[in-house]
Amino acid sequence: MKNKMIGAAAAVLAVSAALTGCSGSSQGQGDAPKTIKVVYSDSNSAALVSWFTDVTAQFEKSNPNIKVDLEPIKGAVTDYYTKLALMNSNPSTAPDVIYEDSFQLKSDAEAGYLAPLDANLAGWGDWSQYSDSVKRAGQGSDGKTYGVSVGTDARALWYNKEIFAKAGIAVPWQPKTWDDVLNTARTIKSKVPDVTPLNVYSGTANGEGSSTQGFLMLDYGAKNGGLTDTSGKWLTGSTGFVHSLGFVDTVYSEKLGYGPQVTSSTNYSTQVRTQDLPAGKLAIDLDGSYIPQNWGATAATPWPEWKNVMAVAAMPTEAGQAHGQNSVSGGWTLAVGGKTKAQDAAFSFISTALNKDNAKKLAINYSLIPVRHDVATDPGYLASDKNAAFFAGLIPDTHFRPATSQYAQVSSQIQVATEAVMTGQQSPADAAKAYDNAVTGIVGADNTTKGK
């Protein structure tokens, strides 16, 4: 698989080099660039493709002397990270504008792949529409801003009301503890045996999705959970980590979730969202607020009935402690490539993409939680999504991934731990110990502290 990914990336680089020979040409000499290259992840999202296409048309109309080389990278998001890193490693293939996952931003900024935007932002009036917390999501370790958020998200339990009716489970459904979730899944397995009761993303094939959609939705809601303490040191020996892996172990050892033929595929999340949920083959899915983008009229798999079939419930904390619910938020940004020769033009593309009208369009069609104040309060946005108020209500109890360049490596070890447990190779306690050792090696013993 690795060789295939590298081979595909090489092909992308070859095409990129051919198309972008004049990218960013001579802006430093006072001339406008002839071409800027914009790269984004196309993982079967018609809404995102349409948005980038529309923004490109608007930008080129306003800037007739600049051509946009729009390059979607198709495939799983893990492939995107790999190909983007290869493109950024060579000035001749490096993009001018990058669709950048927020969890990668700090490490990519430190690697020199991103350019600071502070001078551009100082002259952009719309920057006042973003809260300080949203602005911090685009900051590097040096305090400079490298990305502008396109929107955020939250995560919850999506469930199929028709399957619940067959299983005799009353709706609306709101579990109060992890055991409530597991017991509901057990009931569904018994009463409706031809469906998968519960999906909790786990394992290495789904990459960051296994960490964010799966494990962290448990760990941040566990007793004594969390990845770091209040000072930012990484926790080792955490009982919350072990308990979270214990939940994963229960799901897979009791066959409440998917088998390895699904979880070992890089198309794991695509199957869940575009096939099994619309087909009524999955009862409960722990997933993001954005998944209805897969079912819109312009999506590859339209499913207009979802609004009547699917409902959402907050993910409970382990024993109903604290506020009783937990969520995890992330999101993507738009950034300027660190090797660009066309920074002003690249930022102009970003400011066009994220003006009020375009940000609103993306929030509605891509099922995002807006980060611009004027979009979040816009009546058109609020009327567009029946779950908008629900997901907004999770934000006070949401958690964000650690704001450190080391997170990406730590996240990979979370995925390894969940895979070891889900496949029966290690017990939750042993997998947690292996994770502790790996994290200590990544961040150094001085940057860890003993959890409870």
Q: pLDDT value at position 15?
A: 37
Position 134 pLDDT exceeds 70: yes
Burial tier of 168 (Cβ tally within 10 Å: 0-12, 13-18, 19+): exposed
Q: pLDDT value at position 2?
A: 38
Alpha helices of 41-160 — where are they, by DSSP H? Answer: 46-62, 77-88, 102-110, 118-122, 132-136
Per-residue pLDDT band for 31 (boundaries 50, 70, 90) equals: low
Distance CA 310, CA 333 (A): 29
In terms of residues, how long is the chain? 452
Per-residue pLDDT band for 300 (boundaries 50, 70, 90) equals: confident
User: What are the tens digits of pLDDT across the range 245-264?
Assistant: 999 999 999 999 999 999 99
Among 199, 103, 125, smallest CA distance to 160 is for 199
Q: How many Cβ atoms from other residues are within 10 Å of residue 28's Cβ?
A: 11
User: What are the tens digits of pLDDT across the range 55-66?
Assistant: 999 999 999 999
327 near 217, Cβ under 8 Å? yes
Distance CA 148, CA 334 (A): 5
Burial tier of 386 (Cβ tally within 10 Å: 0-12, 13-18, 19+): exposed
DSSP letter assigned to residue 212: I
User: What are the tens digits of pLDDT across the range 309-323?
Assistant: 999 999 999 999 999
User: What are the tens digits of pLDDT across the range 150-191?
Assistant: 999 999 999 999 999 999 999 999 999 999 999 999 999 999
pLDDT over 90 percentage in the chain: 84
Q: pLDDT value at position 115?
A: 98
Distance CA 222, CA 209 (A): 19
pLDDT over 70 percentage in the chain: 93
Q: pLDDT value at position 298?
A: 83
Helix (H) / strand (E) containing 181: helix 178-191
Amino acid at 210: S
How many helices (H) and strands (E) would you count in the chain? 21, 14
Position 19 pLDDT exceeds 80: no
Q: Which SS3 state, helix, strand or coil, does residue 137 take?
A: coil
Distance CA 244, CA 416 (A): 14
Q: How far is CA 68 from CA 26, 36, 72, 157, 342, in A?
A: 16, 5, 12, 39, 12
User: What are the tens digits of pLDDT across the range 204-233?
Assistant: 999 999 999 999 999 999 999 999 999 999
Q: pLDDT value at position 5?
A: 37
Could you tell me if residue 444 is left (phi over 0), alpha (psi between -120 and 50 degrees) or otherwise beta?
left
Average pLDDT on 39-60 reads: 93
Position 404 pLDDT exceeds 90: no
Q: pLDDT value at position 20?
A: 38
3-state secondary structure 288-354: ECCHHHHHCCCCCCCCCCHHHHEEEECEECCCCCCCCEEEEECCEEEEEECCCCCHHHHHHHHHHHC
Could you tell me if residue 392 is left (phi over 0), alpha (psi between -120 and 50 degrees) or otherwise beta?
alpha
User: What are the tens digits of pLDDT across the range 72-101?
Assistant: 999 888 889 999 999 999 999 999 999 999
Among 23-27, 250-254, 352-356, where is mean pLDDT lowest?
Answer: 23-27
Helix (H) / strand (E) containing 316: strand 315-316
Q: Which residues, in sequence order, are bridge partners of residue 40? A: 72
Among 47-51, 117-121, 199-203, where is mean pLDDT lowest?
Answer: 47-51
Average pLDDT on 380-388 reads: 91
Prediction pTM value = 0.85
Q: At what angle do helices 428-443 and 239-253 cross, to 10 degrees?
A: 130
Among 151-160, 305-314, 384-393, 437-446, where is mean pLDDT lowest?
Answer: 384-393
Average pLDDT on 405-416 reads: 95
Side-chain-facing half-sphere of 283: CA atoms under 13 Å: 28
Q: How much is the mean pLDDT over the chain?
A: 92
- Structure-token pair, residue 346: 């690249």
Q: pLDDT value at position 299?
A: 86
Distance CA 95, CA 361 (A): 24
Position 129 pLDDT exceeds 80: yes
Position 133 pLDDT exceeds 50: yes
336 near 96, Cβ under 8 Å? yes
Per-residue pLDDT band for 7 (boundaries 50, 70, 90) equals: very low
Domains and CATH numbers, the chain: 2-149+332-367 (3.40.190.10), 155-329+404-450 (3.40.190.10)
Position 46 pLDDT exceeds 90: no
Alpha carbon 395 to chain centroid distance? 16
DSSP letter assigned to residue 33: P
Q: pLDDT value at position 75?
A: 85
Report cis status (omega within 30 of 0) of the bond before 172. Answer: yes
195 near 188, Cβ under 8 Å? yes
Higher pLDDT, 273 or 46: 273
Distance CA 6, CA 8 (A): 5
Name the E strands within 184-281.
196-199, 234-236
333 near 148, Cβ under 8 Å? yes
Higher pLDDT, 171 or 18: 171
Average pLDDT on 405-423 reads: 96
Q: pLDDT value at position 33?
A: 66
Average pLDDT on 366-393 reads: 92
The structure tokens 């990406």 sit at: 408
